[in-house]
Amino acid sequence: MTRLLLAGTGLIGHRHLDHILEHPELELAGVIDPVPENRAAARAPGFETLADVDRPADGIVIATPTGTHAPLTLAALQRGLHVLVEKPVADTLENADAMIAAGRDCGRHVLVGHHRRYHPCVTTLKQLLDQGRVGRPVAVSLLWLMRKPDEYFDIAWRAGMNGGPVRQNLIHDVDMLRWLFGEVVEVTGLGSNAVRGAARTESGTAVLRFDSGVIVSITFADSTPTPWGFEAGSGENPHIAWTGQDCMRIACTEGAIEFPSLRVWSGANSWAERPDLSETEVAETVPLVRQLEHFADVIAGRADPVITARDARETLAVTLEIERATLPAGVSQ
């Protein structure tokens, strides 16, 4: 059994909570949340702060507001815990650096919850690309166009930049794109806040150049109820309605891939020929569960971390560049 603490029982914390409680090889050692009614609902010993925890644990899942990730991670490492912290790894690159250094100094792992890398659609896509089934990726078009309910922004920490779609949602896409296509070497874009008028980017298009030569455009908004976005297309998130529509098209030198349906077009040598379409089978896995199992494997020394704090720091750096490139007029980062 791997004994885990959980800090934060909000939107994503509740999902971690249920998955830990349901898993036969994980034990919920305790729940930390400053709001008494939140921790009372957790079916585990509740604590107001990490300093109050009076029982042993092997690791901690941190699912608290982004600005608390760094101080909580540093405190957990000092207690000898391994850490799985939600994305973004931190609110600033400096805080991410402090977390990386502390993990190294304590000899403990800091993993980051970019859980799409455990999604079977994403792992299968990576295999297809790595096998070169449709040649080399050239250009990619990605959409994330959802409408968040207005109440989402009633929680204070989500009202500002930390709650905007770039840091909250595109960061998942950035992590996935880096995993698939390499490092980002240039970012440009345009953004707007024309719908809600909030002091953050609400919509826009970013264009990324990768060191592999791939160019990716990402068009995004959190104010548009469309069927296009990773979670809507894959059905990964119980809070986001499933549509089954593709949200990414990958154009390669010998064909193309639609995602997450993983429909592969191939066999055409030029526009004079119609490419053939083939479907790809994908296994069923719950990525958040797979991520917890991986965390347990890392704690036990059975695996190396898939997503380290250092890796997630690079994803944060690109995300902050996108945010900078898409800031609406009059809004500062």
Residue 220 · residue 203 · CB < 8 Å: yes
Residues 143 and 249: their CA atoms lie apart, in Å, by 9
Q: Figure out which of the listed residues 5, 12, 74, 161 binds ligand NAD, where binding follows CB under 6 A.
A: 12
State the DSSP string of 27-95.
Answer: EEEEEE-SSHHHHHTTSS-EESSGGG--S--SEEEE-S-GGGHHHHHHHHHHTT-EEEEPSSS-SSHHH
Binding mask 50-79 for ligand NAD (x = CB under 6 A): -------------xxxx-x---x-------
Residue 13 engages ligand NAD in binding (rule: CB under 6 A): yes
Q: Figure out which of the listed residues 4, 32, 77, 180 binds ligand NAD, where binding follows CB under 6 A.
A: 32
Residue 34 engages ligand NAD in binding (rule: CB under 6 A): yes
User: Is residue 290 within a helix (H) or strand (E), and if so which, with residue range?
Assistant: helix 287-299
Residues 314 and 305: their CA atoms lie apart, in Å, by 16
Question: CB 137 → ligand NAD: shortest distance, Å?
Answer: 25
Residue 4 or residue 128: which is nearer to ligand NAD going by CB? 4
Residues 64 and 115: their CA atoms lie apart, in Å, by 16
Binding mask 242-281 for ligand NAD (x = CB under 6 A): ----------------------------------------
Binding mask 84-113 for ligand NAD (x = CB under 6 A): --xx-------------------------x
In eight-state DSSP terms, residue 168 is: I
Residues 61 and 28: their CA atoms lie apart, in Å, by 10
| Residues making contact with ligand NAD (CB under 6 A) | 7-13, 32-35, 38, 63-66, 68, 72, 86-87, 113, 115, 155, 168
